[in-house]
Amino acid sequence: MEIKEAFLGKKVLIAGGLGFIGSNLAKKLAALGARVSILDALIPEHGGSMFHAADLPSPADLTVADARDEAKLIPLLEGRDYLFHLAGQTSHLDSMRDPWTDLEMNCRTSLAILEAVRKVRGGTKVVFASTRQLYGIPRSLPVRESHPVVPVDINGVHKMAAEWYHGIYHKVYGIPAAIVRLTNTYGPRMRIKDARQTFLGDWIRRLLKNEEILVFGEGSQLRDFTYVDDASDALLLAACREEATGQIFNLGGERAISLRDLADLLVELNGRGSYRIVPFPDELKAIDIGDFYADYSLIRSRLGWVPSVDLREGLRKTLEYFRAHGEHYL
């Protein structure tokens, strides 16, 4: 079934829907004719913002509450066709500095969501946004879904546990669930205040403020990037396609790029700016995964997903967005 028809009139809940990816997804779903509701706790260290609520047709579609609060979550799940679970903590460094909060935000939130879905028994399909971080240091590139899972930080361990919770609730309770392992996702509405979401957010803020970009390491490290519209399409496909249920899919980018080339590209697109290559801070070096790029051939062959926005175009759109709306993010 085409994405276009699949969501017309469908009742959708997005946990974490005021955040970067969730709010982009909400906008897309509303345009597809879905009846979208959002649950978000607006956690200050995360990427959520009330500025992202502007597209919602009615204030009643937004519940500012924590997904760990069952009394708030259960009524929102009644009669839902789809639940997109985007409520989690992204920062690897924060997970090392404060593992308990990461445990709460990634594990307990996921369990609370799955327990609520189990209790409601409404057949809601759950799509969970996981991360490539759980692979750890790649043993071979590009990284396929069959690559061993050996996380190098607490965030990766907790996301791995969250994936396993989904697997167990699928197998034992028959909850239809699909998992998408995102790589670095970027685009309008990302958090640029700091590097909590990705280092790229930090680079974009520095460019906008005419500050030098700091490239850690030697600049030769490879990464892949997915534009947020492409990531949203993958989540939608994972939701509406029956064959995605019970599966795990990598996302990726149209190419891998070194950090130095990425910095050059950003400076070129911005029309000004500069960068400096500096040694990795110790805290980051200890949890660094080296080169990474994903093999996304599984989602391409099974669901027909391919990244459609190339890095140059995606970065251009991202910079344009933040030039227009930067005051809401800085």
Where on the chain is the footprint of ligand NAD (CB under 6 A)?
15-16, 18-22, 39-43, 46-48, 66-68, 86-88, 90, 105, 109, 129, 131, 182, 184-185, 191, 197-198
Q: How far are the Cα atoms of 188, 204, 330 from residue 208, in angstroms, in the given order?
A: 14, 6, 9
Nearer to ligand NAD, 19 or 273 (CB): 19
- Shortest Å, Cβ 210 to ligand NAD: 25
**230: nearest Cα among 251, 249, 200, 204:** 251
- Shortest Å, Cβ 186 to ligand NAD: 7
- Shortest Å, Cβ 28 to ligand NAD: 14
The kind and range of the H/E element at 64 are strand 62-64
Nearer to ligand NAD, 9 or 116 (CB): 116
Nearer to ligand NAD, 87 or 259 (CB): 87
Number of other residues whose CB lies within 10 A of the CB of residue 272: 8
Nearer to ligand NAD, 87 or 215 (CB): 87
DSSP character for 327? Answer: G
- Shortest Å, Cβ 316 to ligand NAD: 19
- For residue 14, give the amino acid letter: I
**92: nearest Cα among 179, 197, 169, 13:** 197
Nearer to ligand NAD, 3 or 42 (CB): 42
Nearer to ligand NAD, 70 or 310 (CB): 70
**27: nearest Cα among 225, 195, 187:** 187
- Shortest Å, Cβ 40 to ligand NAD: 5
- Shortest Å, Cβ 107 to ligand NAD: 11
**68: nearest Cα among 105, 21, 38:** 105
DSSP 35-48: EEEEEE---TTSS-
Number of other residues whose CB lies within 10 A of the CB of residue 60: 8
**Are 89 and 101 in contact, with CB atoms under 8 Å apart?**
yes
